[in-house]
Amino acid sequence: MASQTRKKEKEMKALHSHFVIRHSLFVICCSLCYIFVLILFCGFLLSGCGTGTQVPLHRQLAPLPTGPVCRVAVLPFLNDSDYPLGDTIVTKVFATQFQEAGNYLVIQEGDILKAYQQLRILPGVQQSLEQLQIIGDRVNAQLLITGIIMEMREDRGEHNTVNPMLILEIQIRDGRSGEILWTAFHRRQGTDYKKTMHFGTIHTVTGLSRQMAEEIINLWFEKGLKQCDVLP
C-alpha cells in the first residue's frame, strides 16, 4: 500500500510539474505577444505623428447641391505668402487634379478670366459675394472652388536639399449663391512624406501642391462629394 501511495504521489507531482511548465510557457507567450502588439501600436502612433499622416481639417457648413455635379469653376486663389506666383501654381495644380480625380468639367481658365475682366476684378483680390454669384452665373458653374495660400516657402533641408512648405485653405462654394459649403485647411512640408510615400521626400512646391490637392480631394470624396458620371 505504501509503495502504491508513493507511486501516486510521484504521478501527481509529475502532473503538477507538467501543468506548471505548460502554464508558464502560456503566460510567457501571451506576454511576448502583448509586448509585440504594443510595440507595433506605439510605432504606428509615432510614425503617424512624425510623418504627418493626418488628413486635412474638414468643415461642412452646408450640404452640397443635390443631384449630379459636373461643372466646376476653380477661381484664382489668393496669395498671402511672399512666394512669387504661389497662387498661380496652386490654382493650376488644383484645377488639374480636380478634373482628373472626379471627371468634372472644369471651366476653362480663359472663361473665368473673361468674367473677372468684365467685373473689373484683379486676380489676387478678394471677390464679394455678389461678384461670386455673377461669376457662377456667367460660367454656368454648379460649384465654385476658392482658396487662399497662407504660407508657401522653400526651406533648406539635409544636404542642402529643398524642403517646401505650404499652408492653405480651400472652399467649396455654391455656384448660385456663392456661399461657402465646405472648407478644408491643410498644412504640409516635403519631409512629411519621407517615410510614408514610396517616392519619399518632396522637393518642389509644385509637387507638394499636387500631393496636398490630391489629399484634399480624396477627403472630400470620403465625406460625400460625388464624382461626375453624367454631364449636364
Res 10: pLDDT: 56
Cα 135 to Cα 123: distance, rounded to the nearest angstrom: 13
pLDDT below 70 — which residues of the chain?
A: 1-55, 195-199, 230-232
Q: Report yes or no on 230 lying in a domain.
A: no
Res 85: pLDDT: 92
pLDDT digits (tens, 9 = 90+) for 16-42: 454 445 445 444 444 443 343 334 334
Helix and strand tally (H, E) in the chain?
Answer: 5, 7
Can you give the residue range of the structural domain that contains 20? 1-51
Res 8: pLDDT: 52
Res 6: pLDDT: 53
Residues whose CB is less than 8 angstroms from the CB of residue 165 and which lie 6 or more positions away in sequence, other chains included: 151, 152, 153, 154, 155, 188, 189, 190, 208
My answer on whether 35 and 11 are in the same domain is yes
My answer on whether 42 and 132 are in the same domain is no
Q: Report yes or no on 119 lying in a domain.
A: yes
My answer on whether 7 and 84 are in the same domain is no
Cα 95 to Cα 74: distance, rounded to the nearest angstrom: 6
Query: Apex CA 110: angle with CA 106 and CA 114, to 5°?
Result: 115
* C-alpha cell read off for 74: 476653380
Q: How many domains does the chain have?
A: 2
Alpha helices by DSSP H, the chain: 2-51, 86-102, 109-118, 129-138, 205-223
Res 9: pLDDT: 55
